[in-house]
Amino acid sequence: MDQIHSASLVGDAIGAISRHIRERDLMPGDKLPSEALLSKELNVSRTVVREAFRSLAAMRIIELATGKRATVAQIDHGAMSLMIEHGVHTDQINIHQIYDVRRTIETRIVTLAAIRRTDEEAAEILRLAAQMKASLGDPAALMEYDLAFHTALAQASRNPVYSLLIGSFQGITRQTWPMGWKTRPTQAARDLMVQTHIDIARAVAASDPLKAVELMTLHFDESVRALLTAGMS
Amino acid sequence: MDQIHSASLVGDAIGAISRHIRERDLMPGDKLPSEALLSKELNVSRTVVREAFRSLAAMRIIELATGKRATVAQIDHGAMSLMIEHGVHTDQINIHQIYDVRRTIETRIVTLAAIRRTDEEAAEILRLAAQMKASLGDPAALMEYDLAFHTALAQASRNPVYSLLIGSFQGITRQTWPMGWKTRPTQAARDLMVQTHIDIARAVAASDPLKAVELMTLHFDESVRALLTAGMS
DNA sequence: CAAGCAAAACCTGTCTGACAGGTTGGGGGA
DNA sequence: TCCCCCAACCTGTCAGACAGGTTTTGCTTG
């Protein structure tokens, strides 16, 4: 984890700072040394330390704030989201591949959610599904409730890695969701899509993992079909 | 994707550069403007442009090289790997959660690999499994072949997102793998672990996805049991 | 003595200018 | 025509400076 970046002063500084965090077992929120102090300890200019900080901040490993010292950060999907978007924009990843991964992890998520969800989480998931139905006339709002629904399921799975991954796909999903919506031109198709979410929420609330998985699979089958209809090869 | 970073000149610059890439449809390898030019166009100092470049480079969205201009980068798991490691080191993620995710995606990967693998990929996967067996006396080498084996499977799945995810877990796996190995103290347990890999390779080579999934599930069940034995809660 | 406030000390964000190399394209010589 | 070398370009790093934002300190006041 350290020498990956070496061969440049900034790379060395990134390694040194990472090591500092690990060796002292710093936890999210803990403060790092000031730029001035680090530049003195590492025998490099403040410029180098700053660029190292920026790099770590880009990966959301640390957090920067003006006036305050840098702190250790909580994991966050922002960086991953940008990386995925970049991959799609540069034709290194296509939407179908994203959907295959989402289907794979979301069927697992919904199983775990059905087993582990608290009553509060179940209520929230039901509420978001209901909000989707109430937003049938407002695609933008509907999309946001849709995203929040899947995020809530990931949360209920009690595995932060799933939350991270679902979050990572959110950025690109925001850009492609409207396409999928347009290919469901009939009211029936749109109602079905929303109803499936409601049914998934009910299955999770009823702690019925098998039913939940079945419905989630149905949802993704339908979504992929919609994308194909849209002519996305 | 743009205004996430705003409220600071560096953030704005990151947004402007990202937009530049997207609007001009730049592909991996394409050159970006020089720091001097960008600093002139964006009306900021070269310092700001450099920090923006560093941020994008940390996410492997662009690539920097001394003397040359920055180029658009290929997706790479390096950054994600560091992020995951950070999450584990700061107790935000534990090993079991990683294993649950790996099991979920690797069972899908092995299905796809069994269906889509080329003959060359099948041969490579078999070769790596054989190398594992040949390295039974050298844990470090065995681990590397193990990692390469799973990477090759992901490759054969023909979905770069799976490769990305498997790569993301490699960093932390390198740090925890020896623990799992130590908890398989008997020769029988160790032979079984390696034999399972060989069997998976054969199932993939035989284009038998069901058998491959069954064996992969077995492998993960066994690995999780080993971790539990090691006292990892 | 305690509470509160204001100045001092500290810290980050950005700018400017400078210089040591690494890279590249083009012109001139063989 | 081919090759080599130089000039132009570009990045990596450093030093110093200053405008704000933040934290600490210590004094003042009730």
3 state SS for A168-189: HHHHHHHHHHHHHHHCCCCHHH
**What mean pLDDT, rounded, does chain B reach?**
94
Bridge partners (DSSP) of residue B31 are: B71
Q: pLDDT category, A163, cuts 50, 70, 90? A: very high
B130 CA to chain A: closest CA distance, Å? 28
Evaluate whether B63 touches B100 at the Cβ level (below 8 Å).
no
Number of continuous H segments (helices) and E segments (strands) in chain A = 10, 2
pLDDT of residue A3: 37
Cross-chain Cβ contact B60/A83 below 8 Å: yes
Q: Which CATH superfamily is domain A78-229 in?
A: GntR ligand-binding domain-like (1.20.120.530)
**A233: pLDDT strictly greater than 60:** no
pLDDT of residue A185: 76
Q: Residue A203: name the closest of A162, A153, A142 by CA.
A: A153
3 state SS for chain B: CCHHHCCCHHHHHHHHHHHHHHHCCCCCCCECCCHHHHHHHCCCCHHHHHHHHHHHHHCCCEECCCCCCCEECCCCCHHHHHHHHHHHHCCCCCHHHHHHHHHHHHHHHHHHHHHHCCHHHHHHHHHHHHHHHHCCCCHHHHHHHHHHHHHHHHHHCCCHHHHHHHHHHHHHHHHHHHHHHHCCCCHHHHHHHHHHHHHHHHHHHCCCHHHHHHHHHHHHHHHHHHHHHCCCC
Strand C close residues, chain B 127-146, CB < 7 angstroms? none
Q: Closest to A1 (Cβ–Cβ): which among B82, B160, B164?
A: B82
Phi, psi dihedrals of residue B185, rounded to the nearest 5° = -75, -30
Alpha-carbon distances, residue A105 vs A51, A160, A162, A198, A208 (angstroms) = 35, 13, 7, 19, 18
A109 CA to chain B: closest CA distance, Å? 10
A205 CA to chain B: closest CA distance, Å? 22
**A5: pLDDT strictly greater than 60:** no
pLDDT in tens, A41-64: 999 999 999 999 999 999 999 999
Q: Please, is B149 exposed, middle or buried when counting C-beta atoms within 10 Å of its C-beta (0-12, 13-18, 19+)?
A: buried
A70 touches strand C (CB under 7 A): yes
**A156: pLDDT strictly greater than 70:** yes
Cross-chain Cβ contact B83/A104 below 8 Å: no
Q: pLDDT category, A231, cuts 50, 70, 90? A: low
| Residue A63 DSSP class | E
Chain B partners of A57 at a C-beta cutoff of 8 Å? 55
- The fraction of chain A above a pLDDT of 70, given in percent, is 96
Chain B partners of A47 at a C-beta cutoff of 8 Å? 47
| ipTM computed for the complex | 0.91
Domain ranges of chain A: 3-72, 78-229
Phi, psi dihedrals of residue B42, rounded to the nearest 5° = -95, -5
Lowest mean pLDDT among A28-32, A43-47, A143-147, B224-228: B224-228
pLDDT in tens, B26-63: 999 999 999 999 999 999 999 999 999 999 999 999 99
The Cα A211–Cα B124 span in angstroms is 39
Evaluate whether B61 touches A83 at the Cβ level (below 8 Å).
yes
* Topology classification of domain B3-72: Arc Repressor Mutant, subunit A (1.10.10)
Cross-chain Cβ contact B165/A75 below 8 Å: no
Evaluate whether B50 touches A51 at the Cβ level (below 8 Å).
yes
The Cα A61–Cα A58 span in angstroms is 8
CA angle B224, B228, B232 (to 5 degrees): 115
* pLDDT by residue, tens only, chain B of 233 residues: 333 455 899 999 999 999 999 999 999 999 999 999 999 999 999 999 999 999 999 999 999 999 999 999 999 999 999 999 999 999 999 999 999 999 999 999 999 999 999 999 999 999 999 999 999 999 999 999 999 999 999 999 999 999 999 999 999 999 999 988 888 878 898 999 999 999 999 999 999 999 999 999 999 999 998 888 776 65
Q: Round and report the angstrom distance from CA (B8) to C1' (C22).
A: 31
Q: Round and report the angstrom distance from CA (B185) to C1' (C9).
A: 59
Q: Which helix (H) or strand (E) holds A62?
A: strand A62-63
Evaluate whether A203 touches A212 at the Cβ level (below 8 Å).
yes
Q: Round and report the angstrom distance from CA (B17) to C1' (D3).
A: 39
B50 touches strand C (CB under 7 A): no
Interface of A with B in 100-119 (CB under 8 A): 100-101, 104-105, 108, 112
A68 touches strand C (CB under 7 A): yes
**A67: pLDDT strictly greater than 60:** yes
B14 touches strand C (CB under 7 A): no
- Alpha-helical regions (H) of A43-159: 46-58, 78-89, 95-116, 119-134, 139-156
Q: Closest to B90 (Cβ–Cβ): which among A4, A10, A72?
A: A72
The Cα A61–Cα A21 span in angstroms is 10
- Residue A82 carries which side chain, given as an amino acid letter? L
